[in-house]
């Protein structure tokens, strides 16, 4: 398994210096926020990465719109933004694009008993959209990485089991899931057991402690990472968390803390 950090958590005057700092801290990957500037700077990013041992792990969201919005235009913007970022991920060599179907409460109306309740509508809408997006994912060789969030951030997909079920319905190798320790710490009854059951669906991992700071800052037990290791996971473990102090001190310390589990 390889360690990664989201790019905005890394000090450096430019991307090249961030890569240099990450390498000196012992990290092998950098996770990019999917802001529009990534597409505008693909050439520059590729050039910097070509001379670095640090490689892009994933592109994190950044697309406009909402896959479960009421307005068709809003949903179409999300589909277009995700497919665009899948192309960027492919060009940079990242595993894929992290996708959260929707934030907050339901936006669709409940039409039951005349038609379907809001959950059925949402699932049908999302799976149809993912089947369209999956064609691009398969073509370019990048993954859609469905991310379950905790119940306070989204009503729709909170556990690995739900994300894996969506992957099965879509039925494409281009659509997989990711595991986020902060959200799992809230939603999963047993993190190790969930990882054991759904390891085959997991293509990326986010790490944050119970307080959403660097692992070792809270009370989360990261020994369950061994489950992924035993299941053959060879992807990235990427820090998505606050850094409480000087990153030049905290980021290397975090790797030392995590290595005892992997």
Query: Over the stretch 201-232, which tens digit does the pLDDT of each residue have?
Result: 999 999 999 999 999 999 999 999 999 999 99
Q: What DSSP designation does 54 have?
A: -
CA-CA distance, 95 to 4, in Å (whole number)? 12
Class at the top of the CATH hierarchy for domain 2-259? alpha beta
DSSP state, residue 151: T
Q: What gap in Å lies between CA 90 and CA 139, rounded to an integer?
A: 10
The helix (H) or strand (E) run that includes residue 69 is none
Q: What pLDDT was estimated at residue 231?
A: 96
Are the C-beta atoms of 91 and 46 separated by less than 8 Å? yes
Query: In the chain, count of helices (H) and strands (E)?
Result: 10, 8
Which neighbouring-strand residues pair with 207? 239
pTM of the model: 0.95
End-to-end Cα distance, the chain: 7
pLDDT at res. 119: 85
CA distance 111 to 117: 5
pLDDT tens digits for range 174-195: 999 999 999 999 999 999 999 9
**pLDDT > 80? residue 72:** yes
pLDDT bracket for residue 114 (50, 70, 90): low
Q: Where are the alpha helices (DSSP H) in the chain?
A: 15-25, 36-40, 42-50, 72-92, 118-140, 160-170, 181-187, 191-198, 225-230, 247-259
The predicted-structure confidence for 19-37, as pLDDT tens digits, reads as follows 999 999 999 999 999 999 9
* Biggest distance spanned by C-alpha atoms of the chain: 61
Pairing of the two strands 2-6 and 202-207: unpaired
């Amino acid at each position: 398994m390889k360690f990664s950090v989201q790019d905005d958590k890394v000090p450096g005057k430019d991307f090249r210096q961030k890569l240099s700092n990450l390498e000196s801290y012992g990290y092998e990957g950098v996770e990019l926020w999917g802001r529009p500037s990534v597409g505008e700077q693909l050439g520059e990013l590729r050039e910097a990465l070509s001379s670095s041992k640090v490689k892009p792990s994933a592109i994190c969201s950044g697309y406009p719109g909402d896959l479960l919005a009421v307005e068709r235009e809003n949903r179409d913007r999300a589909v277009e933004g995700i497919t665009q970022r899948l192309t960027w991920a492919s060009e940079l060599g990242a595993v894929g694009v992290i996708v959260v179907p929707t934030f907050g409460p339901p936006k669709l109306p409940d039409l039951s008993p005349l038609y379907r309740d809001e959950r059925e509508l949402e699932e049908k809408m999302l799976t149809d959209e993912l089947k369209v997006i999956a064609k691009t994912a398969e073509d370019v060789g990048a993954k859609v990485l469905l991310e379950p969030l905790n119940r306070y951030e989204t009503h729709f997909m909170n556990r690995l089991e739900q994300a894996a079920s969506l992957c099965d319905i879509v039925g494409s190798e281009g659509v997989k899931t990711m595991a986020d320790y902060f959200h799992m710490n809230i939603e999963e009854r047993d993190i190790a057991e969930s990882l054991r059951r759904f390891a085959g669906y997991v293509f990326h991992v986010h790490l944050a402690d119970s307080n959403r700071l660097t692992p070792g800052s809270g009370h989360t037990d990261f020994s369950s990472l061994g489950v992924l290791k035993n299941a053959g996971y060879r992807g990235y473990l990427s820090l998505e968390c606050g850094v409480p102090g000087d990153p030049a001190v905290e980021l290397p310390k975090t790797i030392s803390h995590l290595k005892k589990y992997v």
